[in-house]
Structure 1
Amino acid sequence: MSDQLRTDRARAYPLECDHCHYPIPDDPVENDDGQYCSTACREAAAEDSTMSEPDAYKRVATGVEPLDSLVPNGIPADSLVLLSGDEGTRRAELGIELAWRALERGEPAVVCSIANPPTATLERFYQNGWNVLPALENDRLRIIDCFTYRLDDRDGFLDDRNDWSTFIGEAAEDAIVDVRDPSDRSELANRLHGALDDLEMTETGLVTIDSLDDLEAVFTEQSVREFLTDVRATVCKARFVPIVAAATTAEQGGPPGAAHVFDGIVDLRLTDHLTPEARLKQLAVRKLTGAQFLPQWVTYEHEPARGLFAFGPNTDARQVYDFGNGPTQPDRPR
């Protein structure tokens, strides 16, 4: 919770419930141990079930610079968020970075790998210089494999892997959760819930779904909506674990007829209107239920190890790109 929000709350409601820690708008319900907003809170406190500080787990600072700059107080943890982006906007890298930043915070992460085999999904981390072997060994990362059993020759695929892919696959074997019938949305949901239970993911961590486009190729349109509706309720709303799903840009803002399912939509686009003869990447928050956000586009780029970074409107784009050495270090947004 921001300091300003705390100050405003204290001015409006000087008393705070000793159980739920929310303001007491009416006369407090008291006993010898404290003051409460309701009888329910007083009775719960008597059973030693005092809640954690409000917003301690209800807001998530993602650690991704361009996104956090638009949502300064954090994303509500009970959100299902869509990353809706054009091809070439680094949408896949954003999903991987969100999982990595959760691991960096010491939290667990689950990645639903639909567009790629698990080893390719893990390779995305390594391409950015992010070593996930410790997280695999420390039981903080799960990969839900929705790809391998869609192959006509699964055994041939496994036999043809190179040494690195074989090594990563063997190292991650205990962290890979197979979905043997990817067309069965119930099996996918059950495997996801099993991974969340194994990692004790309630009020912590993050789930990413790498491609709703590929999920639509496996499920029917109705099944995609039903799956998203189900996990939004049972994961986001029940556990306070956010889910971030990626899809290519669509007029409706997601899978056909499913835009209303999402609590938040982040748009990613390419634009050639800012710099002559350059196509720059921008992102903006279209909607985010339960949170304030800045209604503007942020120009960004991606760099291995650093991830996505923002640069301001007054920055010469030529300062950002050095094709011999990769992106340079631009000025921070002003």
Structure 2
Amino acid sequence: MIVKRVKTGIPGMDEILYGGIPERNVVLLSGGPGTGKTIFSQQYLWYGLQHGEPGIYVALEEHPVQVRRNMLQFGWDVRKYEKKGMFAIIDAFTGGIGEAAKREKYVVRDPTDVHMLIDVIKEAIRDTGAKRGAVDSVSTLYLTKPVVARSVVMNLKRVLSGLGVTSILVSQVSATERGFGGPGVEHAADGIIRMDLDEYDGELYRSLIVWKMRGTKHDMRRHPFDITDKGIIVYYDKVLRIRGGRAYIEPLPEKVVKEMEEAAKKTEDVFGEEEE
């Protein structure tokens, strides 16, 4: 069966995913504070824009002005793509309050109203022709009512996947929580990528692991990553192992690395098309 994939464009990530995220998948990007979830989602959108794929970003925890500033720190100037109609930031943070908010095109007047949010998302997708999407963070929508977590994710999934958007839903968890940010959300999402920042023997280590990804084989090891001034770099050829309370970063066997590289290479030159 031919699987149409969407490359993340994050160095090392597509090797772990054996070529990319299956098209229309909704991926839960879960992790604690400071793990790099927002950067990951924005880098994913930026790569798409650089290759002609429109996108939308739903801002639930930051002012759209701040989102643009933060992206610009990595050299990701999305304003030109907004002017071209290829990119849209959906303001689900301000409720339309403030002078800057009045200049935003897509505003959710009541950020707590999921149905209103979905209507604005639909409008933005149709206007831009978006193929990529990010919601940051989806857990904001059910923080005070965790019982509705699964239904919120399912509602977003129906809209995003139904309109052909391959999406990342950022999910916040506490620093010590090992779950995915809400009861039942792991079953509603097509994929789960867990990002962590853990202390071992007095040092902090960044790592990620793909817990699941429907429609594709993926590597099941925990890989270290760094956040640089150009974004995230994942070391797909290395693994983070814990022994006796200490962390060790070790190289993977050459055979395993080659298998991941070959799988990712299949989609290297067929952006937005079916893999061979």
TM-score calculated relative to the size of structure 1 = 0.65
TM-aligned CA distance change 1:228 to 1:104, over 3 Å: same
1:191 aligns with 2:126: no
1:256-297 superposed Cα distances (whole Å, 9 cap, x missing partner): 232210111101112344xx6421200110011111001111
Give the partner amino acid of 1:187: M
Task: Output the CA distance in 2 between the equivalents of 1:299 and 1:271.
Answer: 11
Q: Give the equivalent residue in structure 2 for 1:44.
A: none
1:308 aligns with 2:237: no
1:241 aligns with 2:241: no
TM-aligned CA distance change 1:182 to 1:68, over 3 Å: same
Q: Give the equivalent residue in structure 2 for 1:207.
A: 133
Give the partner amino acid of 1:253: F
Query: Structure 2 matches for 1:1-334, cutoff 5 A?
Result: 55=3, 58-149=4-95, 154-155=97-98, 158=99, 173=103, 176-201=105-130, 205-217=131-143, 220-236=145-161, 238-249=162-173, 250-273=177-200, 277-305=202-230, 307-311=231-235, 312-313=237-238
* Uncovered stretches (5+) of structure 2, i.e. residues with no partner: 241-253, 258-276
Query: Higher mean Cα deviation, 279-288 or 59-68?
Result: 59-68
RMSD value, Cα: 2.5
Task: Output the CA distance in 1 between the equivalents of 2:199 and 2:178.
Answer: 20
Residue 240 (structure 1) shift: 2.9
Task: Output the CA distance in 2 between the equivalents of 1:65 and 1:241.
Answer: 22
The higher relative CO (CA closer than 8 Å, separation ≥ 6) is in: 2
For the 8 Å contact 2:31–2:180, the answer to whether it is kept is: no
For the 8 Å contact 1:212–1:255, the answer to whether it is kept is: no
* Uncovered stretches (5+) of structure 1, i.e. residues with no partner: 1-21, 23-53, 159-165, 316-332
| DSSP-derived class of the 1:207 partner | strand
Give the partner amino acid of 1:309: I
For the 8 Å contact 2:95–2:110, the answer to whether it is kept is: yes
Which of structures 1 and 2 has the bigger CA Rg?
1
Task: Output the CA distance in 1 between the equivalents of 2:89 and 2:149.
Answer: 20
TM-aligned CA distance change 1:188 to 1:111, over 3 Å: same
Pairs aligned (count):
238
For the 8 Å contact 1:73–1:292, the answer to whether it is kept is: no
For the 8 Å contact 1:66–1:308, the answer to whether it is kept is: no
Residue 127 (structure 1) shift: 1.4
Residue 226 (structure 1) shift: 2.4
Q: Give the equivalent residue in structure 2 for 1:11.
A: none
TM-score calculated relative to the size of structure 2 = 0.78
